[in-house]
Amino acid sequence: MFRLPPRAALGATFRALLAAAGAATFALAAGPAGAQGFPERPVTLVIPFPAGGSTDLVGRLVAERMSAELGQPVVVENKGGAGGNLGAAQVAKANPDGYTILMGTVATHALNPALYKKIPYDAEKSFAPISLLVVVPNVLVVNPDFPAKTVPELVELLKKNPDKYSYASSGNGTPLHLSGELFKSLAGVQMQHIPYQGAGPALNDVLANQVPIMFDNLPSSAGHIKSGKLRALGVTTAKRAPSFPDIPAIAETIPGYETYTWNALFAPAGTPPEVVAKLNAAANKSLADPKVQARLADFSATVVGSTPEELGAHVKAELAKWAPIVKASGAQVD
């Protein structure tokens, strides 16, 4: 039988409950107050790839404008390695106060969970989504000295010389690697894959003609394409990129071919909603800046700007989309 405690004990219990309730009320009041003052010091934006690639370019552009919106510097920290896993894990384990955020990509939040046997974070549970920033085309480029000048010529050359030529990518299992593997599969050709620790180092070797072919993010190759230091054979999106209308889509030669990447901001899971809202507002205002839009348009990045909930739904959909593609490619990283 359930018995009430003695009156004295009941009074002590009641006083304890009142004290606990008061402490909880104070904590709830302190939380939003702290969030209202956010940010009171610089915010670190971790970019999980080396400097020079598309993610780095987009990240620095947005970080500069967000600094003005937030009234505090947004400091970029490049943390490359393991296809973006190192930088993503750093943010996942950071204090959830909004002062450490991540520039996530299709690699960190859609491909890596399918590619790696072990991953140091959960793409959904370890993060608080902030905003989907942009969707970016990839592009197939070659050194100007390379004999093939079009996608059909490249396919013919590779079929005549299986495994003679190699292509560079930003690393095993990255979107650029899978762009190459999908190309090989659909075109029925063979190339050797040479992975690098990021798109920047890979691009440098293609410019130096150490490796003749590369699948790159369009933003990081755009300037070299315009200057003639690289020859673009095709974009990886289903349709041509608006900023380079003369570059054919690879799908015009190889039906069904399509890959792309995207950039989005994430905070550690448990970050207060008020802080996430402030970061979301700053990011989306940055994307609305005409100067930022013009710069992003230069390399055909499609500006999105989303709510945290929309980004969360996007990650879920991308995980479902890419898992079977990665499995079919046979790519896996230990």
How confident is the model over 186-212, as a mean pLDDT? 94
Q: Where in the chain is CATH 3.40.190.150? A: 43-135+261-329
Q: What is the pTM of this model?
A: 0.75
CB-count exposure of residue 92 (10 Å: 0-12, 13-18, 19+):
buried
Residue 34's pLDDT band (cuts 50, 70, 90): low
Lowest model confidence (mean pLDDT) among 38-42, 161-165, 237-241: 237-241
Is it the case that residue 17 has pLDDT exceeding 70? no
Q: Residue 261 has what pLDDT? A: 87
In percent, the amount of the chain with pLDDT more than 70 equals 89
Q: What are phi and psi of 157, to 5 degrees?
A: -65, -45
pLDDT tens column, 282-298: 999 999 999 999 999 88
| Cβ–Cβ under 8 Å, residues 304 and 132 | yes
pLDDT tens column, 313-326: 999 999 998 888 78
Is it the case that residue 10 has pLDDT exceeding 60? no
Q: Residue 334 has what pLDDT? A: 67
Residue type, 44: T
Q: What homologous superfamily is domain 137-252 in, according to CATH? A: Periplasmic binding protein-like II (3.40.190.10)
Is it the case that residue 33 has pLDDT exceeding 50? no
The H or E element that residue 94 is part of is none
pLDDT tens column, 41-86: 999 999 999 888 788 989 999 999 999 999 999 999 999 988 899 9
Distance CA 36, CA 280 (A): 14
Q: Where in the chain is CATH 3.40.190.10? A: 137-252
Mean residue pLDDT of the chain comes to 88
Is it the case that residue 35 has pLDDT exceeding 90? no
> Which of 189, 185, 192 is closest to 156 using CA atoms?
189
How confident is the model over 184-190, as a mean pLDDT? 93
Taking residue 111's Cβ as centre, other Cβ atoms within 10 Å add up to 28
pLDDT tens column, 80-131: 988 899 999 999 999 999 999 999 999 999 999 999 989 999 999 999 999 9
Given CATH 3.40.190.150, say whether it is the number of domain 43-135+261-329: yes
Residues contacting 293, CB < 8 A, separation 6+: 287, 303
**Residue with tokens 């934006």, as numbered in its chain:** 45
Q: Helices marked H in the chain — which ranges?
A: 7-36, 54-70, 85-92, 106, 112-115, 151-160, 175-187, 199-207, 218-227, 273-288, 290-298, 308-329
| Cβ–Cβ under 8 Å, residues 262 and 109 | no
How confident is the model over 156-161, as a mean pLDDT? 98
**How many helices, marked H, and strands, marked E, lie in the chain?**
12, 10
